[in-house]
Structure 1
């Protein structure tokens, strides 16, 4: 702890991406936060939203094709009745995210390096960095690219322009790559550019889905019951729904990415309050609102219409379009929906670069060919357009991620409580520790259930 604090005061950041930030700028920012501390919370919020960023980046990672598909299926099949799961999906994750905020701002060490020191190479470099970030970014980007290029085609059709997936994929790759490659360039300027893009895009998603919901209407009575009265369908369907919705929220990538994004901004002990607000206002609140809006739109359309339902995001979106009626609502839905995979691909690309450099112990340099190559690695997902659906591979990845979530979660829990690592800033709260353990257990349990279910060993 003493070494890290001395390095910070000497102007040596814990993460190389923050090296170009003038110490005077960080001190002025911290002084501004200190001055705000005595003001009412609502008057502080606009400043926190402006200075925050890693939380919004985390929301982009979390709100991907998998989360949207789970929300769409939930609304289309069961209306509002399963909305309550969202509290479990995001609520339990806030305990670990708050712990990561403490480690980032008070510890100011590179998390994976500290893991390596305390818990060994396999847990740190392999499970956390390579599996938790790199493998997840590459594997899960297949779904983002497939959904994004489909939505570009659908949006073009609505506007009378032919943009088939076979031709529009370069536009998707160029846009997401350019934004991701901007991260960290020019000191804080490039980081702020990407964070601003994420904030604006999340606002666009909220606006577009809200516009759709206003068109189709809301059954507020049913929505309130769904939010606060637990219910699940019987048998395998209920298990599938609970697993998909619960596992769609916060995991290893979110924990680690928030930490390194905070280090890249030069956050120190005086930024801890900002970091916690960023987690709530940037990550949790957008997730809750967007999840509710998507469920609401599909509850008021496909669920109300009845009949057989498609099972993929692309098929669900295609089935919804005729039911929205107004052209404005259709365009709003497609634009908001398209923003989701774009932001997720950007976030995963940056997380992949961070993971690769931490896995191999490389010093990150945003101007180097190596960093750029790592940023572009998830774009291998374009090969998914030419490969069969890899069900067996997905099952294997899910099993590995189950193990990763559990082991990495325990590792972070131990670091958070380690006197030699955090000293007086370690956790002293039983409630905080219990909350972290609940999330680690939940993530592991739902992943194992999912794998067993797909293998026909769980559920009828």
Structure 2
């Protein structure tokens, strides 16, 4: 039991955080619109996430500090430090606010699938998330998230096997990249829902709770690879089930999303998707504001505890913005898509700072990045930038 337990911890929390309503929605839409052709994006994004989360976890283990604290401490020039703080804080606030709107909209979409739109569910979800964050019951939340990841993985992976997808098309989709004018936003959304910028802050801040010694780096890396690899497998399974069952039909709501699980769950598929969206939305609506607050505390050098009102003011703001945007009339599917696109656009800013820190020998000594880690991180930045710039006009038109 002890050998198995070491593979569950901060990295599993990261996986559960990115397997939220955004992943379920964006992966379903990608499979429905483009079949298996964008599986290569998830393969690339999963490998990239393993590398980037290992970097931020290693930073947290060796320094016993969060990513925000490291950024502030390692930039000595006051002007450059101020610019860096503004850039990081702005990216985190914008990204997390958009992500939070998607989380709450996803949870609301799930509960509406069972009870209908009888009341403003987004407001109720915002209040519940506020209560959980205010009370600080995070250990219980972590267990729920881990359980959610396991349930999601089992259902989607089994369904992906039952629908008997075309293996040659899966192989082609995994290893032959395809970028067209039509799929650019989908690519950016898949990257944004997998390589989540706020998870880099969340991971670095939470890793020191379990990992204390430099000698544990090997175990940390194993946990990181297993947990995030599982998350990538779940995302691919969602695309595969969607491509095999609803390709070419379009997705506008929960009923269309449920069709992909009917081969396994039959008439219960709608309720599973509804409960899954609700649970994933609630869990992610808690982790996103919390990660923003940790990031703010780090970059501004606050010494206050998580129970201080300065710390709470950040997550309250993120939660409030997310709730408001979920209430003002945008369709939940649209809000969720835009949130993932925003994450993809903001990703290069955070990754650039992470690369800088993980190459500082004065900070990590012999644990600095290897050349291949830098190379892959730069590829993540370049792919995100290229797709972001090519899609910018489409993003504005989409919004």
TM over 0.5: yes
How far did 1:327 drift? 2.1
1:121 aligns with 2:88: no
Alignment equivalent of 1:232, drawn from 178, 181, 184: 178
* 8 Å Cα contact 2:103/2:282 also seen in 1: yes
TM-score normalized with structure 1 length: 0.73
The corresponding residue for 1:219 is 165
* TM-superposed deviation, 1:435: 1.8
For residue 56 of structure 2, the aligned residue among 100, 119, 126 is 100
1-structure distance, mates of 2:316, 2:14:
19
Alignment partners' CA distance in 2, 1:85 and 1:70 = 12
Once structures 1 and 2 are overlaid, which stretch shifts more, 219-228 or 55-64? 219-228
1:186 match: none
Q: Equivalent of 1:421, from 329, 342, 363?
A: 363
Aligned equivalent of 1:25 = none
In structure 2, the residue matched to 1:48 is: 6
Q: For the structure 1 residues 277 and 165, does the alpha-carbon distance in structure 2 shift closer, same or farther, using more than 3 Å as the test? A: farther
CA shift at 1:258, angstroms?
0.7
Quick check: 1:147–1:314 contact (8 Å CA) kept in 2?
A: no
Out of 252-261 and 263-272, give the one that drifted further. 263-272
**For residues 400 and 365 of structure 1, what CA distance do their matches in structure 2 show?**
28
- 2:204 corresponds to: 259
1:142 to 98, 101, 108: 101
* Residue from 96, 121, 131 that aligns with 2:90: 131
| Structure index of larger Rg | 1
**Higher RCO, Cα 8 Å, sep 6+:** 2
User: What secondary structure, in the 3-state scheme, does the structure 2 residue paired with 1:84 have?
Assistant: helix
- Cα deviation, 1:277-301, whole Å, max 9, x if unaligned, reads 232222x223222212211322232
TM-score normalised by the chain length of structure 2: 0.83
Q: 2:110 aligns with which of 141, 151, 156?
A: 151
Q: Is the 8 A contact 2:106 2:277 kept in 1?
A: no
Aligned twin of 1:361 = 301
1:395–1:142 CA distance, 2 compared to 1 (3 A): closer
Q: C-alpha distance in 2, partners of 1:433/1:250?
A: 16
**Structure-2 separation of matches of 1:397 and 1:221:** 28
Equivalents in 2 of 1:61, 1:169: separation in Å? 19
Which among 174, 186, 195 is matched to residue 142 of structure 2? 195
Q: Could you tell me how far 1:199 is from its partner in structure 2?
A: 0.5
- Deviation of 1:172 (Å): 2.3
Q: Say whether the 8 Å CA contact 2:255–2:270 is kept in structure 1.
A: no
Q: Does 1:250 align with 2:250?
A: no
> d(CA) in 2 for partners of 1:398 and 1:114?
27
**Is 2:238 the counterpart of 1:298?**
no
Q: Which residue of 1 aligns with 2:280?
A: 340
Distance of 1:361 and 1:58 partners within structure 2: 24
Native 8 Å contact 2:98 2:338 kept in 1: no
In the other structure, the counterpart of 1:277 is: 222
| Per-residue deviation, 1:253 | 1.5
Q: Return closer, same or farther for 1:247/1:150 CA change in 2, 3 Å cut-off.
A: closer
Return the offset for 1:107. Answer: 2.3
Distance apart, 1:66 and its partner CA? 3.3
Cα distance in 2, alignment partners of residues 102 and 321 from structure 1: 38
Mapped contact 1:349–1:376 kept (Cα < 8 A): yes
For structure 1, list consecutive stretches of 5 or more residues without a partner in the other structure: 1-42, 157-162, 184-189
Instruction: From the superposition, tell whether residues 270 and 124 of structure 1 become closer, same or farther in structure 2 (CA, over 3 Å).
Output: farther
| 1:400-439 aligned within 5 A | 402=345, 404-427=346-369, 429-439=370-380
CA deviations over 1:184-226 (Å, ceiling 9, x no partner): xxxxxx5432321210121222234346556x62225256424
Q: Alpha-carbon deviations, 1:235-287, whole Å to 9, x = none?
A: 411333333323332143122221011134463323322322232222x2232
* Partner in structure 2 of residue 76 of structure 1: 32
**RMSD in angstroms over aligned alpha carbons?**
3.4
* Distance across 2 between alignment mates of 1:330 and 1:198: 21
How many residues get paired? Answer: 389
Tell me if structure 1 keeps the 8 A contact 2:72–2:301: no
Residues 142 and 267 of structure 1, relative CA distance in 2, 3 Å threshold: same
